[in-house]
Chain A
Amino acid sequence: MRLLALNGSPRGPKSNTRFLTDEFLRGFAVTPANQAETLDIARPSDREKALAAFWHSDAVLLGFPLYTDAMPGLVKEFLEQVATLPRPDRRPTLVFLVQSGFPEATHTVPVARYLERLASRLGCVCAGVLRRGGIEGIQSQPAWMTRGIRERFRQLGETFGRTGRLDEQALRQLAGRERYSRFALRLVCWWSRVMYWDRELKANHAYDKRLDAPYAHT
């Protein structure tokens, strides 16, 4: 199978989307005949290549970060361009990967519904939507903390590489809980503030300005 892996993160090669995509591709490559190419659509030259290759791949994996509860503008504009290109009779199978900053699975439900509908609109089979929350910061966490999630993406890639399908139950497990308990949420708020946002603000000498409201009415 020839898989075109498209990274829709505006952050490009250093993104969390790319990090998770690479794990999926590691599993995909276990099947000897499989070939994959990865392109970052935030890079203009890659974007052109992605447009040229989209309709001629056996499968396309399109990954992106959740941006204001949907796909980034970059991804939507790319898809709008894809849809204007001539479509061959044999269409690629589509797989989507959506990851978010917030941990709960509820945040990615509406966009996943959109993506399934999009696939049918484009006349493609949708093999599934990989969803996972709580991903911002994953690349600064120690390897032992992220082993489980990396393994899940690898497993899903391996299954897809072997069968051309994804297992519903494995996708549900990947997405995790729809909602978190009050206690867990309080922990998320505290942890993200102390371990992440405030540290970064201080490192940038911007902590004193963190509540600035530069466009407030005067």
Chain B
Amino acid sequence: MNALLMNGNSNPADPRFDAYLQSLAQVLTAQGHGVNTLELRSMDLRQCSGCFGCWLKTPGVCATQDQHGQLLRAYLDADVIVLASPLVLGFSSGLLKRAADKLIPILLPYIDASSGECRHFLRYSKAPRLAVLYQDEPDTVDEDRAITREIWSRMARNANTSLVACLSTTITTTEVAHAIACA
């Protein structure tokens, strides 16, 4: 299995989260899995401008000159995507969300309603599974965890795939690796 760890920690002053992800990468590697980590805060990923150029002008390619190509290639290379970030204001970071917005070129503009609800058809035949990894804030409550899970599972549905896990860094990296790899 190839895992892509999308590190959406926007606060380099807090080393805990990055250290946790590093340890997770080591565990996965030791188990024989491929691991690619993208540190989103060091990448040049501009906000999606909402122009739909990636659907209607240069299909599959974002109009912005930034590192979206690296992100899309890494996404399509992986079997599992780990959407990782500390919770900020009760949800994944804005940095991680900015990167998620840049994934819409993997979809076609055309709408598929065969499941009884609208979503887009996929541009590629491959749809990696999604997992969410978060670090609690001091005031995190179950409601925040439930909302985070609910939003990302909707996003997984829209990306024609499934959310296989939504886990907190309070469990060990071995347990996280197991949950991701066995799903």
User: A40-77 interface mask toward B, CB cutoff 8 Å, 1 = contact, 0 = none?
Assistant: 00100000000000000000000001011111111111
B118 interfacial by beta-carbon distance below 8 Å: yes
B100 interfacial by beta-carbon distance below 8 Å: yes
B155 interfacial by beta-carbon distance below 8 Å: yes
Bound-state CA distance A72–B102 (Å) is 10
A202 to chain B minimum Cβ distance, whole angstroms, is 10
Verify B117–A73 contact, CB threshold 8 A.
no
Bound-state CA distance A115–B100 (Å) is 19
A145 interfacial by beta-carbon distance below 8 Å: no
B48 to chain A minimum Cβ distance, whole angstroms, is 6
Verify B111–A188 contact, CB threshold 8 A.
yes
Residue of A nearest to B57 (CB): A204
Task: Spell out A's residues near B (CB within 8 Å).
Answer: 9-11, 15, 42, 65, 67-80, 83, 102-104, 106-107, 110-111, 113-114, 117-118, 121, 179, 182, 185-186, 188-189, 192-193, 197, 200-201, 204, 206, 209-217
4 extra A-B contacts, CB within 8 A, seeds A68-B103, A76-B91: A68-B100, A73-B47, A206-B57, A209-B59
Hey, which chain B residues are within 8 Å of A188, CB to CB?
111, 113, 118
Verify B154–A110 contact, CB threshold 8 A.
yes
Chain B interface size, as a band, is 35 or more
Hey, which chain B residues are within 8 Å of A189, CB to CB?
110-113, 118
B89-117 with Cβ < 8 A to chain A: 89-91, 93-95, 97-101, 103-104, 108-113, 116-117
Verify A118–B89 contact, CB threshold 8 A.
yes
Verify B69–A215 contact, CB threshold 8 A.
yes
Verify A72–B59 contact, CB threshold 8 A.
no
Verify B116–A185 contact, CB threshold 8 A.
yes
Known A-B contacts A104-B117, A188-B118, A215-B76; the reply to A74 vs B98 at CB < 8 A is: yes
Choose among B47, B99, B126, B151 the residue that contacts A110 (Cβ–Cβ < 8 A): B151
Verify A197–B116 contact, CB threshold 8 A.
no
Verify A80–B147 contact, CB threshold 8 A.
no
B20 interfacial by beta-carbon distance below 8 Å: no
Hey, which chain A residues are within 8 Å of B104, CB to CB?
68
